[in-house]
Amino acid sequence: MARTIEQGFETLISWLVPLTSEHEKATKHKSTVSSCLTNNFHCTSLFETGSFGNGTGVRHYSDTDYFAVIPGNKLYTNSGTSLKLTKEALQKTFWSTTGIVVSCPAVKIPFGTYKSEELEVTPCCNAGLVLTTLGNFRQYEIADCSGGWMHSSPRAHNAYVENHDKRLNGKLKPLIQLIKAWKYYNDVPLSSFYLELRITKYSESETVIVYDIDVKNVLKKLLDNELASIRDPMGISGLIASSSTQVKKETSLSRLRTAVSRAEKAAVAKSKENFDDVFYWWNLLFNNKFPAR
């Protein structure tokens, strides 16, 4: 139960924190994955990336991501071929695991019931260091989902989010978690990486985060921009699309319009001090997963 909308959001955020146990269900397979990729492709390193490592994961929904660093001469000019061969090698190793698929730029391996028990392996090769305003970071080439390769630097992007999270007193990452929770709870087919960049870019002009205000503003900003691709603020990965297909983008826009309408109705109810309605509209927005008043 929450007496105020602020308490409601704080409670929801506490529910979003991933459990150590669910993370361990995926990470316990790391050594087997590493051995498979080393034997088949001379993999030199397998390191964790993504939401879990960055503190923006959502309980039961965010998967565990690894970059598998492979010598360039063991990868193909056509990145799709490398992904296919990686999937085949992992399927032979985990022969009893069903549902292993290519999901560019990674191969997904489901190890349990929840999405958080799914491990994503992204084959990549070293591409030297990249100089950014936040320091030097190692970058890699990963599949660009069009048959080619593109640059990526997980640690540079983590530093970008971390920089603004610290400036905003640790409230940016929970804001990202809230928007991701809306995405997962309503089955919105948006890229999590896209959302992280969009929300962090939005935060650059903010001096304070108030969750009910900024969730509404972020959703409205996404709608006003019509989920247009965003140029990587770190200058590494080029244009980042919101969804992998136009159909998914249209689906996302439809659900975004509904979310913006509900957030705006919650704001109107708050201005009238009708707090039962405030909780009602936020609960609808989060698909009946918002704390009760």
Torsion angle defined by CA atoms of residues 20, 22, 25 and 26, in that order, rounded to the nearest 10 degrees:
-90
- Please, what is the angle between helix 211-224 and helix 172-185, to 10°? 60
Burial (Cβ within 10 Å: 0-12, 13-18, ≥19) of residue 38:
middle
Q: How many CB atoms lie within 10 A of CB 4?
A: 12
Q: Which residue has the tokens 């650059």?
A: 204
Whether the Cβ atoms of residue 46 and residue 30 lie closer than 8 Å to each other: yes
- Domain residue spans in the chain? 5-285
Task: Identify which of 200, 191, 179 has the alpha carbon closest to the alpha carbon of residue 249.
Answer: 191
CA distance 106 to 85: 12
Residues in the chain: 293
How many Å apart are CA 48 and CA 151, to the nearest integer?
17
Alpha-carbon distance of 118 to 233, in angstroms, equals 29
* Tens-level pLDDT at each residue, the chain (293 residues): 668 999 999 999 999 998 877 777 767 889 999 999 999 999 999 999 977 768 899 998 988 899 999 999 999 999 999 999 999 999 999 999 999 999 999 999 998 777 778 899 999 999 999 999 999 999 999 999 899 999 999 999 999 999 999 999 999 999 999 999 999 999 999 999 999 999 999 999 999 999 999 999 999 999 999 999 999 999 999 999 999 899 999 999 999 999 999 999 999 999 999 999 999 999 999 999 999 98
pLDDT at 28: 84
Token readout for 129 is 């260091």
Beta-bridge mates of residue 150? 142
Q: Please, are residues 62 and 50 in contact by the beta-carbon 8 Å criterion?
A: yes
The C-alpha atoms of residue 33 and residue 46 are separated, in whole angstroms, by 9
Rounded CA-CA distance 123/105 in Å is 8
